[in-house]
Amino acid sequence: MRIICLILLVFSIIGCSVSKKTMIGEEVSGVDSNKKISAEAFLYDAKYYDNNKPRSFRLQIFRTDSIIAFTGNGYLGKGVLRGTLTSDSLKAYFPTEDEYYYRDVDLIFKQSECNISDDDFDLSALFDFYKIMKLNNAIYEISETDNNRKKIVINPKKCSWDIEIEYKNYDSDLRPYLFSYTNKDNRKISAKLRKFKKSANVKLNLFKMPVLEKVSEVNALDGLVN
């Protein structure tokens, strides 16, 4: 569970917290599972480092204008993770463990030690360099190499972590090519883009979370981000 929490931390900027819910998620029974929509598709080769020992996995990300869906496999196990990220919330479900993680974006920042607010930082903007440019520039630094490649470092004051993202030009859009997250304990996730498709036909139900009558708690992990 530790690596799963760290992956969620990359999306949510905080560690896993105790979260026990009933009847949460979104109803999908009325949705045609074969219906498809257009979305950007990313496939990342990723590694998780703990005590300098790398463990490999793959992370699939599907992005629309309003929502991001993600799935993980490899070291994590097949079908072990699925979730969604919007400007308002982060949701993730672990089918094999029957656990569900949920956070409102405003709570993410209120519960973080970092000196940032949700008004300054839109998590979903990480996938679009030009959206990053519209955020509070006090929380990031930009290294401009050329028009086809940019690098950004996010390390707000009082934060015990930093994020580095290198963007590359794909069909006139700058999208994340290299990504790394490191915390003060030198736990790290790095990812490199293997494949990118600007307009992929993706099943709509990837963006929907199932209705869950019972879910277990996701345990807090001390020392992950503090």
- Residue 214, domain member (yes or no): no
- Residue 226, domain member (yes or no): no
- Residue 110, domain member (yes or no): yes
Question: Distance (Å, rounded) from C-alpha 138 to C-alpha 136?
Answer: 5
- Each residue's pLDDT tens digit, 185-226: 777 889 999 999 999 998 888 888 766 554 444 433 333 333
Which pLDDT value is given to residue 10?
Answer: 52
Question: Distance (Å, rounded) from C-alpha 156 to C-alpha 115?
Answer: 6
- Residue 225, domain member (yes or no): no
Name which residue leads in pLDDT, 80 or 146: 146
Which pLDDT value is given to residue 193?
Answer: 95
CATH code of the domain containing 151? 2.50.20.10
Which pLDDT value is given to residue 40?
Answer: 93
Which pLDDT value is given to residue 119?
Answer: 61
Total domain count, the chain: 1
Q: What is the DSSP letter of 172?
A: T
Name which residue leads in pLDDT, 184 or 105: 184
- Residue 88, domain member (yes or no): yes
- Residue 84, domain member (yes or no): yes
Which pLDDT value is given to residue 133?
Answer: 75
Name which residue leads in pLDDT, 167 or 119: 167
Query: Is 80 exceeded by the pLDDT of residue 175?
Result: yes
Domain of residue 125 covers: 2-207
Given CA atoms 195, 199, 204, 209 in this order, what sign does their dihedral have?
positive
Mean pLDDT of the chain: 72
Question: Would you say 24 and 215 are in contact if contact means Cβ atoms under 8 Å apart?
Answer: yes
Question: Distance (Å, rounded) from C-alpha 25 to C-alpha 28?
Answer: 9
Comparing 42-51, 72-81, 157-166, 211-220, the range with the smallest average pLDDT is: 211-220
- Each residue's pLDDT tens digit, 120-166: 666 777 888 887 777 666 667 887 777 888 898 887 777 777 889 99
Question: Distance (Å, rounded) from C-alpha 195 to C-alpha 40?
Answer: 11
Q: Phi/psi at 146 (nearest 5 deg)? A: -160, -175
Query: Is 80 exceeded by the pLDDT of residue 37?
Result: yes
